[in-house]
Amino acid sequence: MINNCTPSVSVIIPTHNRSQILKRAVISVLNQSYHDFEVIVVDDASTDETTEVVRKFEDKRIKYIRHKQNKGAPAARNTGLRVSNSEYIAFLDDDDEWLPEKLEMQITAFKAAPPNVGVIYTAFWRVQNGKKKFFPPSKIKHKQGDIYEQLLNGNFIGLPTVIAKKQCFEKVGLFDECFPRLQDWEFLIRCAQQYHFIYIDKPLLISYHTDKSISSDHTAFLAALELITGKYFDEFGKYKKSYLKHNLVMVKLFAQSRQTQKACRCCFGIIRFYSFNVVKLTVDFFVLIAQSVWGRVIELLVKE
């Protein structure tokens, strides 16, 4: 039961040694047109000026929690979740920013949504090397309702666009801290097993991507993708093309990093997964290629 004095939304911002850009993220939350929220900044043992930056806001809606040791972003998000008593949970990365109407649009959508909706997310702009790109891609056709199968095929949801019911975490669990990357995708897969999603087709987040971002770490990506395909191995039995797609990505990255044995093991794993049905494997392989080519054509047409 949520206390009347408790804000309806907890916004959790994990941060580590990014005091220079954290301010922009916090300001984007404080500038929301919807005001019934708290901001939980979880400092993952920063050694810079993060503490001073947060204290300068002097806003009672901001809670500051500091880890004594660096534990990683998923652990920081879980720390924020454990102290939150709000009905809804939202996330923001310390190097991103929200547009002012984000929370208001999502809370309005939740009020009109059926009870089986657990997550509402939005489109966003991804900025990299001075270029801005719209997400999710136009090739993603099934963006709301029961999107479990679509999410198994790959993640297209930016976690900082998400607002979720607190009960989602109580039912499916917190972020898996064993994952070096892709913790958001793995959590969203679990959510999609239990809840429907609503998509707002308006970019309400600006996501800044740099070469220093954790999302640019291919070694961590490979390790996490192996964990995903292992954890949901039985589920992928129903969606073989998704399993094939993820393993082909691993084969490519293993080969590029000269991990030949692991690349070969992935190839054999694919064949074994298909029960040595080479015809079915070949058909799915060429379907994936066709879908990839067609998706690229669509993106080019949209640009024009």
What pLDDT is attached to residue 186? 98
Is residue 227 within 8 Å of residue 178, measured between CB atoms? yes
Q: For 21, list phi and psi in degrees, rounded to 5.
A: -115, -10
User: pTM, whole model, 2 decimals?
Assistant: 0.88
Query: 8, exposed or middle or buried, with CB in 10 Å at 0-12, 13-18, 19+?
Result: middle
| Mean pLDDT per 10-residue section of the chain, whose length is 304 residues | 76 97 98 98 97 95 97 97 97 97 98 98 95 93 95 96 98 96 97 98 94 64 93 89 87 85 85 72 62 44 36
Q: Hey, what domains does the chain have and what are their CATH numbers?
A: 9-214 (3.90.550.10), 217-303 (no CATH)
CA 158 to chain centre: 4
pLDDT at 283: 66
Residue 301: predicted pLDDT: 35
Let me know: does 40 contact 11? Beta carbons within 8 Å.
Answer: yes
- Cβ neighbour number for residue 286 with a 10 Å cutoff: 10
pLDDT at 304: 35
Nearest Cα residue to 121 out of 96, 95, 145, 97: 145
Q: What is the pLDDT of residue 2?
A: 47
pLDDT at 108 (0 to 100):
98
H helix count then E strand count, the chain: 12, 9
In the chain, the amino acid numbered 94 is D
Rounded to whole angstroms, the Cα distance separating 73 from 78 reads: 9
| Neighbour count for residue 209 (Cβ, 10 Å) | 15
Name which of 257, 248, 252, 254 is nearest 284 in CA terms: 248
For residues 13-43, b (16+ Cβ closer than 10 Å) or e, as one string?
A: bbbbbbbeebeebbebbeebebeebbbbbbb
Residue 117's φ and ψ, nearest 5 degrees, are -85, 125
- Measured distance CA(186)–CA(229) in Å, rounded: 10
User: So what's the pLDDT on residue 262?
Assistant: 85
